[in-house]
Amino acid sequence: MIMHRRKKSARIRRAATVAATAGTLIALPAQAFAMHISEGILPASWAVLWYAVAIPFVALGLRELQRRSEELLYFKPLVGLVGAAVFIISCMPIPVPTAGTCSHPCGTGLAAILIGPGLTVVVASIALTLQALFLAHGGLTTLGANIVSMGVAGAYVGYGAYWIIRRLGLPWVMAAFLAGLLSDWATYAMTSVSLAAALHGGGSFSAMFSLILIAFVPTQLPLGIFEGILCVGALKFVRSRKPELLRMAAGGAA
Amino acid sequence: MRAIDVTGVHFTYDDGTEALSGVDFHVSEGEFVAILGSNGSGKTTLIHLLVGLLKAQTGRISIGGREIGNLSAEELYQRVGLVFQNPNDQLFAATVEEDVAFGPRNLNLPETEVQERVTEALDAVAALLLRGRAIHHLSFGEQKRVSLAGVMAMRPSVLILDEPTAGLDPAGEAQMMQLLKKLNREEGLTVILATHSVDMLPLFANRIYVLDHGRVLQEGPAEEIFCHQEMIVRAKLRLPYVSRLMYEMKRHDGVPIDGLPLTIGEARVQLLELIPKELIIAELEEKQA
Amino acid sequence: MFDLFSDIFTYRDNALTRIDPRVKLVVAFAALIAVVTAEMVILPLFVLGICLATVAALRIPAKLVVARLAAPLSIVAVLVVIQTFVTGTTPLFTVTLAGWQFTAKAEGLRQGTLLGAHVLGAVSVVFLLSVVTPAHRIFQALRWFKISRNWLEVAILMYRYIFVLMDRVADLAAAQKLRLGYTARGRAMRSFTTLAGATIIHSLEQSQRTHDAMRLRGYRGTMPFGPLPAVSGRDRRILALCLIAIAAARLLEWGVSG
C-alpha cells in the first residue's frame, strides 16, 4: 500500500478519515466477501490446498456422526434439523451500524455448543454447498477454504472457548458469549488469510492480510459482539423453555 | 377378526402427566372408527401407543391378534400406518416420488416393486400427477394427500390418522374424507381417525370413542354418542351443527323431531315431513307438470 | 426476508433439465477448472457470455439473474480496486483522497481484472447449473460420485427442513414485528435472539417428530436411496462434446498466452 504522507500534523486525523472512507467503500462488498469467499477468487492451487485441509475435518465429523447415530437412531435427523435452524439463523439480516448495511451472523458458535465442533463442520460443509450451488454465496471452487474458515476455525475456536471457560467453572453465559464472539472473529481472521494468500499477487502477503483484516474490522468487530449476544440470548431462551432439548442435542456425548 | 385390541391401558409421561388411565379400545377389521376428544384428551397418546411410538406402562395392546411387543418393527409397520397431523413431520424427502418410495425401499423391495407401490399409493390418493414435484412446492392439501400415500405404500391393513382434516379448506376436507371412505369401503382398510371435528363423522364412522382426560367416556355408533348431550359437553366437544339446530328446535320450539338427525340428509327428510306439502315448491311444480 | 431459493425453474422441462445430473456436474466442474486456471480474461468472459446467453434462452427472469450476480459483481469491483492500488509496480495514475495519494498500477489492474473475470465466469457456470438441476438430482448424482451417504442424508434433511423452518420463522418474525418487537435497539436485540432460540426449539422438536415418522416407515438409521439409471447414449455424447470444447478452449488460451 503506497500512501504518501504530506503534512505530519494532520496525520492522525487523516488516517482516521481514510480508514473510515476505506471502511465504508469496502464494507458493503466486504460483507459478501467476509461471509464466504466468492466463487472463482482462489487460484486453483490454493483451492486444492484448502480442500485438502478441509476434507480431513469433514471426514472426522462424519465419523462422529456415524458413531453417534449408531447409538441414537434419531441423531441424523437431529443434526439435519439443527443444521437447517443454523442455516436460517445465519440468513437473518442484522443491521450493522458502522457499515450502514445488513450483515448476517455465522451461527457456528451456537451450532458448536449444541452439537459439538465435529458435527458443526459437517453441517457447515452442507450449508456452504447449498449456498454455493443455489444462492451464489461462496462457491464450489472456494468450498474448501470456506469450510476451513467458517466450519473448522469457527466451530473449533468457538467450542474451545466454551469448553475452557466451562472447565474453569465460570458461568455459561460468559462461555456462550465468548464462543459466539470468538467463532465469528476466527472465521473472519481465517477468511482474511485465504483472501490475502490469493490476492497479494507479487506484493507482500502480510500487507495484504492487514489491509483485508482492517477492512473487516469496522463491521466484524460489532458483528462478533452481536454474535456473542445472539449465542447467549438464543441459548437462554432454549434453556428456559426446553432444557431437555439441549441434553438431547448433546446426545449425552458433550 | 379383531384388528386392534387395547385393554386396560395406562400411560404416564415422564413429567408425571397421566395421559391415559385404563383405556379399552377395540376395532374390528374393516371398521371405520373415530376417536373423538378435545385437545389434551389423550387421543394422540393412544394412537402413538397403537403404532409403537410409546409403550404402555400397564395394560395390553394387540394388533391383529398379536401382542404388540412380540411384533418386529417391520411386521408392525406393515400392519399399522400412522399419518401425522402435520404433513411436514412426515414429508422429509425432497420430492413426492422419493418420499413415497422411502417406506418400500426400507423394506428392501426390488426397485420395480418399489415403483409399483409408489404408483399405486399415489393413485389411491389422487396424486399421480404430483409424482415428480418438489415437496416444498406442494399446497397444504396436496402435502396431506402425499403424506397419506407415503403411509399407504407400506400397505398397512390398519390406517391411523391424526386430525386428517385439520387445516384443510372445506373442499379439501370433503376430498380427504371421501378418500378415506373409499379406502375403507373399497380397499377394505381398517381406518381409525383421531379428531375433534364432529361434523363429518356421522357420515363416515361406524363407531366413535369419546375420550376425555385419558378415559373413554362413551363408545358406540354416532346415533348413540350424540344423544348424550351432557357427555358431549363434558368432553369439551359439541354436536354436529345440523344436530344442534334440530336439538334446539325440539327443545325450545317443541318441533316434533324424531330422535336426533346427525347429517344434513337425515335432517332434510325429517323437516320435509313436518312442512306442509303446499309450501314445498318442488312438490307443487311436480303436481302441475 | 427469506426469499432464498428459487428452484422453481429447475422443475421446468427443457433441453438442459433433461440432461443427466452427473453429466452436468462433470461439465460444470470442468468449466470451473478452465475458468479458474485461465490466464487471460477472454476465456472466463467467454464462459460468462455463453452461460448468460443460455440463461436468457431458458427465459430465467432477469430479476433473478441480477439478484444472484449482484454480490459477485460488487466483489469484482472491489477486487479490481484493491489489486490496482495495492499490487504491482508500474504506475498508471494517482488519485488523491483525503490528503492521501493512491497510485494505480498496471500489473495490479491486469491482475484485478483477471480475478474479476474468474469470479464472473465461475459464478455464471454455477448459476446456470443451479437453474437447470434441482437439488435432489444433485444429491443423487453426488451419491453416484461416492460422496458419503451420511453427509447426503443430513444434506437432504437440511434442504427439506430449511423450507419448513423458514415458513415458521417468517410467521414468528411477522408476529414480533406486529407487536413492535424491532423498534428500539435493545428490544430488537432481544427479539432477534428470541427468534433464534425459537428456531432452535422448533428444529429440535421437529427432529423428534420427523424421526418418529421415519421410524414408522421402516427407518433403521440409514436413508434408502433409489438407483440412478445408466447415463444415456445421448447424454454421453453431450458429455464428450462439452469436455472436448472446454479442453480445446483451455488449450487454445494456453497457446495464445504462451
Which residue among C161, C206, C227 places its CB closest to the CB of B111? C227
Mean pLDDT of C191-219: 92
Q: Compute the mean pLDDT over every residue in chain A, rounded to the nearest whole number.
A: 82
Q: Are A130 and C159 in contact (CB under 8 A)?
A: yes
DSSP string, chain B: -EEEEEEEEEEE-TTS-EEEEEEEEEEETT-EEEEEE-TTSSHHHHHHHHTTSS--SEEEEEETTEEGGGS-HHHHHHHEEEE-SSHHHH--SSBHHHHHHHHHHHTT--HHHHHHHHHHHHHHTT-GGGTTSBGGGS-HHHHHHHHHHHHHTT--SEEEEESTTTT--HHHHHHHHHHHHHHHHTS--EEEEEES--SSHHHH-SEEEEEETTEEEEEE-HHHHHT-HHHHHHTT----HHHHHHHHHHHHH-----S---SHHHHHHHHHHHS-GGG-HHHHHHHH-
Query: Cβ separation of A134 and C189 shorter than 8 Å?
Result: no
Mean pLDDT of chain B: 90
pLDDT band for position B44 (cuts 50, 70, 90):
very high
Partners of residue C197 in chain A, C-beta under 8 Å? 233-238, 241
- Which residues from C are below 8 Å from B106, CB to CB? 217-220, 224
Chain B positions in Cβ-Cβ contact with residue C206 (cut-off 8 Å): 88-89
pLDDT of res. A165: 93
Partners of residue B216 on adjacent β-strands: B211
pLDDT at C23 over 70: yes
Task: Specify the pLDDT at position A101.
Answer: 58
Please state the domain count of chain A.
1
Give residue-wise pLDDT tens across range A179-188: 999 999 999 8
Q: Nine-digit cell at A121?
A: 463442520
CATH fold group of domain B2-238: Rossmann fold (3.40.50)
pLDDT(A17) > 80? no
Rounded-to-integer distance, Cα B195 and Cα B35, Å: 6
A231 CB-near residues (< 8 Å, 6+ apart): A109, A110, A113, A176, A177, A179, A180, A181
Instruction: Give the model's pLDDT for residue C158.
Output: 94
Rounded percentage of chain C residues whose pLDDT exceeds 70: 95
Query: Phi/psi zone of residue A9: left (φ > 0), alpha (ψ -120 to 50 degrees), beta?
Result: alpha
Check pLDDT > 90 for residue A84. yes
The pLDDT of residue C1 is 33
Asked if residues B165 and B200 have their Cβ atoms less than 8 Å apart, the reply is yes
pLDDT at B193 over 90: yes
Taking 80 as the threshold, does the pLDDT of residue A118 lie above it?
A: yes
| pLDDT at position C183 | 61
N-term to C-term CA, chain A: 47
Each domain of chain C, given as residue ranges in start order, spans 7-147+233-257, 163-226
Task: Tell me how far apart the alpha carbons of residues B114 and B229 are, in angstroms, rounded to a whole number.
Answer: 49
Q: What is the DSSP letter of C134?
A: -
Between the alpha carbon of residue A31 and those of residues A42, A96, A105, A129, the distances in Å are 17, 10, 11, 19
- Do the Cβ atoms of C8 and B137 come within 8 Å? yes
pLDDT at C49 over 50: yes
Confidence at B288, pLDDT banded by 50, 70, 90: confident
Chain B positions in Cβ-Cβ contact with residue C213 (cut-off 8 Å): 82, 84, 89-90, 92
> What is the domain-level CATH number for residue A83?
1.10.1760.20
pLDDT on residue B99: 94
CA distance A162 to A223: 19
The 3-state DSSP class for residue C93 equals strand
How high is the pLDDT of residue B264?
87
Are A198 and A41 in contact by the 8 Å Cβ rule? The answer is yes
Report the C-alpha gap between A73 and C54 in whole angstroms.
45
Q: How do residues B69-115 score in pLDDT, each as one tens digit?
A: 899 988 999 999 999 999 999 999 989 999 999 999 999 999 999 99
Q: Where are the alpha helices (DSSP H) in chain A?
A: 11-35, 44-71, 75-91, 108-115, 117-135, 143-146, 154-167, 172-199, 205-241, 243-250
The arrangement of strands across the sheet holding B66-67 comes to B18-28, B2-12, B58-63, B66-67
pLDDT at A41: 87
Residue burial C175-188, b: 16+ Cβ < 10 Å; e: rest: ebeeeebbeeeeee
| Residue contact C11–B132, C-beta within 8 A | yes
Least confident of A152-156, A231-235, B246-250, C173-177: C173-177
| CA B264 to each of CA A216, B140, B202, B240, B253: distance values in angstroms, whole numbers, following the listed order | 70, 28, 10, 10, 20
- Neighbouring CB atoms inside 10 A of A161's CB total 25
pLDDT score at A33:
47
Strand order across the beta sheet in which B190-195 lies: B80-83, B158-162, B190-195, B32-37, B207-212, B215-220
Interacting residues of B230 by C-beta distance below 8 A, sequence separation 6+:
none
**Closest listed residue to residue B3, CA positions, set B46, B62, B81, B74:** B62
User: Per mean pLDDT, which range of A197-206, B197-206, B234-243 is the poorest?
Assistant: A197-206
Residue B132 CA to residue A44 CA, distance in Å, equals 38
Query: Is B143:B91 a contact under the CB 8 Å cutoff?
Result: yes
Q: What is the ipTM of this complex?
A: 0.90
Residues of chain B with CATH 3.40.50.300: 2-238
3-state secondary structure of C132: helix
Residue A110 lies in a domain: yes
Tell me whether strands B158-162 and B80-83 are parallel, antiparallel or unpaired: parallel
Does A158 score more than 90 pLDDT?
Answer: yes
Q: What is the pLDDT of residues B101-160, one digit of tens each?
A: 999 999 999 999 999 999 999 999 999 999 999 998 899 999 999 999 999 999 999 999
CA separation for the pair C158, C156 (Å, rounded): 5
Q: Which residue has the higher pLDDT, C103 or B121?
A: B121
pLDDT-derived band at C258, boundaries 50, 70, 90: low
Written as one string, the DSSP assignment of A99-113 is TTEEE----HHHHHH
- Contact of C136 with chain B, judged by CB distance below 8 Å, is answered with yes
* Residue among C136, C159, C209 whose CB faces B84 most closely: C209
Distant-in-sequence, close-in-space partners of B228: CB < 8 Å, separation ≥ 6: B218
Q: Residue B29's pLDDT band (boundaries 50, 70, 90)?
A: very high
Question: Residue A130 sits in which domain range?
Answer: 31-250
Chain C's closest residue to B84, CA to CA, is C213
Query: Tens digit of pLDDT for each residue in C116-172?
Result: 999 999 999 999 999 999 988 899 899 899 899 999 999 999 999 998 998 888 888
With CB atoms and an 8 Å threshold, state whether C206 touches A81: yes
Grid cell 387395547 — which residue? B6
| Lookup: cell for B188 | 377394505
Between C41 and A5, the more confident residue is: C41
> What's the whole-number average pLDDT of chain C?
87
pLDDT of residue A28 exceeding 50 = no
* Cβ–Cβ below 8 Å for C221 and A136: no
Q: Which residue of C has its CA nearest to A82?
A: C203
Q: Which of A5-9, A46-50, C131-135 has the lowest mean pLDDT?
A: A5-9
Whether residues C217 and B154 touch (CB distance < 8 A) is answered with yes
**Residue A253 — very low, low, confident or very high, per pLDDT cuts 50/70/90?**
very low
Mean pLDDT computed over C205-231: 90
Beta strands in C43-119 (DSSP E): 91-97, 100-105
Through-space distance between the first and last CA atoms of chain B, rounded to whole angstroms: 54
What pLDDT digit, counting tens, does each position of B215-235 carry? 999 999 988 888 888 888 888
Q: Which of A26-40, B103-117, C11-25 comes out lowest in average pLDDT? A: A26-40
Q: Residue B182 — very low, low, confident or very high, per pLDDT cuts 50/70/90?
A: very high
Q: What is the pLDDT of residue A6?
A: 45
Mean pLDDT of C20-49: 93
Task: Calculate mean pLDDT across residues C244-257.
Answer: 88
Per-residue confidence at A21, pLDDT binned at 50, 70, 90?
very low
CB contact at 8 A, A123 and A115: yes
Least confident of B140-154, C77-91, C137-151, C235-249: C77-91
Q: Could you give the C-alpha distances from C37 to A137, A139, A141, A225, in angstroms and in order?
A: 21, 15, 11, 39
Give the SS3 label for residue C130.
Answer: helix
Cβ atoms < 10 Å from Cβ of B255: 13
Q: Whole-prediction pTM value?
A: 0.88
Question: Does the structure show a pLDDT above 60 at A1?
Answer: no
Q: Which of residues 94-133 of C touch A (CB under 8 A)?
A: 97-103, 107-108, 111, 115, 118-123, 126-127, 129-130
**Is residue C195 a contact partner of residue A92, using CB atoms and an 8 Å limit?**
yes
Measured torsion, CA atoms of residues C205, B95, C142, C215, in degrees rounded to the nearest 10:
40
Provide the angle, in degrees to the nearest 10, between the axes of the packed helices C185-216 and A243-250. 60
